[in-house]
A and B are shown apart, each in its own frame.
Chain A
Amino acid sequence: MKSSLKKEKHPMEKLLRMDRIPHIWCPGCGIGNAVSAFAEAVQKLNYDLDELCVVSGIGCTGRAAGYIKTDSFHTTHGRGIAYATGVKLGNPELKVVVISGDGDLSAIGGNHLIHAARRNIDITVICVNNFIYAMTGGQVAPTTPNPAYTTTSPFGNFEAPVNIPRVVEAAGAVYVARWTALHMRRMKESIIEALNKPGFSFVEVIAPCAMYYSRINRLGDGLNMMKFYYDNSVIKHGEPTENLDIGYQEEIIIGKFIDRERPTFSESLKSWKEEHGKGGEGDEE
């Protein structure tokens, strides 16, 4: 029987690798929302997509680079920012974005996160935080709230979770914002601001992991977690980042927290060269 359904094109077809769809993310997962918000932001900015490069590390969010139709790299666990730094410094004309997960960026890649922010490398980092190592089997992460349950904290996590916005602010990021996967429009606007900001910009996206985090903590499915975000997120622009700790099923403060100016790494290197460069002959004997 011939289908009467009209075959419509995906609205983001230009930006997505449709030959890789369906993606690997689970039903109820929030990573797709972050990728959609990014795609919408890029579309709104009307970028030349040939000059945009997306880099990811490993894990569920690490697969994002593979679905976005720009030059893109799926690299090693935690090193997406370091790799992206090379791409940016190799060709400063490029717009370089890192999309990766909380385990990737704040644990194994924590050092690179701090130092890229300190150097003020002109890249945008979108960190999808689902409070857990998902792809490897739901282990406790540096972001797991205390005392949430995970496969490796069966009696509840006893460690203090990292407050990533506070870390990147302290390190020197020029733009820091946090939204949940529910706040699509605001997330998109933040990504636009971050992309427009010269220097190290950081957007955290709190996202449900319906497979491991919500199930083991008996929080329902992805939709239930989104409902929780709807009921318990509070927008507080400019809130001091020291107040942004995330507790277990407690109120989540979201908004834009940092928006400031600092010279980027490339600007500083250029000034240094102009100040000290001889511009003359090499050191011929």
Chain B
Amino acid sequence: MKTADKSVLRGKHTLSGFEACAEGALSAGCRFLGYYPIRPAFDIIKRFTVRSLEGDAVFVQMEDEISALAVVLGASWTGKKSMTVTSGPGLSQMMEHIGLGVMLETPCVIVDIQRDGTSLGLPCSPGGGDVMQARWGSHGDYEMIALSPNSPEEMFELTVKAFNLSEKFRTPVMILSDAAVGKEKGEINIPDPEDIEIQDRKYYKGKKDKYLPFKYDEKDLIPPMVDVGQGTRFHVTGLTHDERGYPVMTDTCQEWNVHRLVQKIRLFTDQIIEVEESGTEDADIVVVSYGAASIDALRAVKQARDEGIKAGHLRLVTVWPFPEKRVYELAQNIDAFVVAEINYGQIALEVERCGRGEAENFFVHHSSFDLGKSSDILKSIKKARGKKK
């Protein structure tokens, strides 16, 4: 990290979540933004483009979101940490290149400022309906890493973390946020660049003519990478490929290729998954939430405790991979889960699945208009009380 780079802030700043995301990206070493303008994600773009005047970052406004992610993947292969920023309708268009990003094992960050859908929905209203699309949107088999901040401070921290995870696991990483967190202002203490933990991709160090783009390390299943122009003369394809990057149209190669793409995340979920818990040690009821809804969920849990209900809170900092083990552990010791999210029940299904019938499940649709209030969640906690299976 060049500490002299003017595009990296340090010290205390009052920033919105959107601004914090742009600053987090710059602090993580992101020097390329490809985007297509959309509400409400545009404020991140605005911050990044203006701040790029003070440094060596490059940006380009593409003709659509399909090309916005394509350009990010291309730039990433030149060694530039790269990002795109969008909202629901744009994320829908990006699915094609999420698949290519996974298949070519290209580090990049996709920030999705979720808005109320379906289709164009309510453009400026915070939403949470993209979580399943984030996981399964592109075709075929793959794993997705997605993080969900709930404050401007976390927008900064998790943007840095998203870059680190994407570089480490050589895969696109998503940030699932919304306009409520994006617009919120908060004081952020940005450490000196040398104090921010930065993970860079693993580079190939062998002979140039011996480079195989998908020859992986047995320890972490990650193949070392090169930049375009380093003289290794590699070829890579979105088709099923062997370790040379050449297309091989056989079941055996499909298995060799895609199995590892899935396993390089699945086998290391313990290193990726981050959750926050409060009051879960003795809880009868655990509220599960993430993103903006988690602030209200935590408040509802405190109110429930004040009323003598043993409630706890499990916040998903990492939405994907899903904390399956932890949810099952909790399910065995509690009466019920209450899942509060800004959609009609997406993560609720995951909680139900992972609880394996050990606990009752209650879903509360915490609408974007309910943000800032906790009454609906408290009501659900009370409803769930005493509902032991």
- Write the residues of chain A forming the contact surface with B, with a CB cutoff of 8 angstroms: 17, 20, 49-51, 53, 55, 65-66, 69-76, 79, 82-91, 93-94, 111-112, 114-115, 119, 265, 269, 273, 276-285
Contacts and interface: CB of A to CB of B under 8 A. Distances in A.
Interface in B56-80: 58, 60, 62-64, 66-67, 70-80
Given A76-B100, A83-B73, A269-B58, A94 B67 contact: no
Contacts of B236: 72-74
A39 to B, nearest CB: 14
Contact of A285 (B14, B82, B232, B234): B14
A70 B246 CA distance: 14
B275 interface: no
Contact of A85 (B66, B74, B97, B232): B74
B137 interface: no
A94 B228 contact: yes
Interface residues of B, number: 52
Contacts of A20: 246
B5 to A, nearest CB: 9
B38 interface: no
A65 B235 contact: yes
A75 B100 contact: yes
Nearest to B230: A50
B220 interface: no
Contacts of B54: 277-280, 282
B6 A282 contact: yes
14 contacts: A66-B246, A69-B233, A74-B236, A74-B238, A76-B100, A82-B71, A83-B73, A86-B32, A86-B73, A90-B58, A90-B78, A91-B79, A279-B6, A282-B8
A69 B78 CA distance: 17
A50 B64 CA distance: 31
Contact of A91 (B62, B66, B78, B232): B78
A188 to B, nearest CB: 22
Contacts of A74: 235-239, 247
A33 B79 CA distance: 33
B219 interface: no
The 4 closest A-B pairs by CB, nearest first: A86-B74, A90-B78, A90-B75, A82-B67
A84 B73 CA distance: 9
B70 A82 contact: yes
Q: Which of B32, B80, B230, B236 has the most CB of A within 10 A?
A: B236
Given A72-B235, A76-B97, A112-B63, A94 B71 contact: no
A88 B183 CA distance: 34
B13 interface: yes
Given A73-B77, A112-B67, A66 B229 contact: no
Contact of B233 (A70, A73, A79, A115): A70
A279 B60 CA distance: 20
A93 B229 contact: yes
A84 B62 CA distance: 13
A66 B235 contact: yes
A72 to B, nearest CB: 5
B214 to A, nearest CB: 14
Contacts of A88: 74
User: Which of A20, A65, A91 lies at the interface centre, i.e. has the most chain B CB atoms within 10 A of its CB?
Assistant: A91
A90 B78 CA distance: 6
B80 A90 contact: yes
B234 A71 contact: yes
A119 B61 CA distance: 10
Contact of B70 (A51, A79, A90, A277): A79
B96 interface: yes
B45 to A, nearest CB: 15
Contacts of B66: 79, 82
Contact of B60 (A76, A89, A111, A276): A89
Contact of A90 (B51, B62, B77): B77
B96 A76 contact: yes
B37 to A, nearest CB: 14
A75 B6 contact: no
B321 interface: no
A71 B96 contact: no
A50 B6 contact: no
Contacts of A112: 63, 67, 70
B6 A90 contact: no
B332 to A, nearest CB: 45
B70 A83 contact: yes
Nearest to B96: A76
A66 B239 CA distance: 11
A48 to B, nearest CB: 9
Interface centre among B6, B64, B79, by most chain A C-beta atoms within 10 angstroms, is B6
Contacts of B17: none
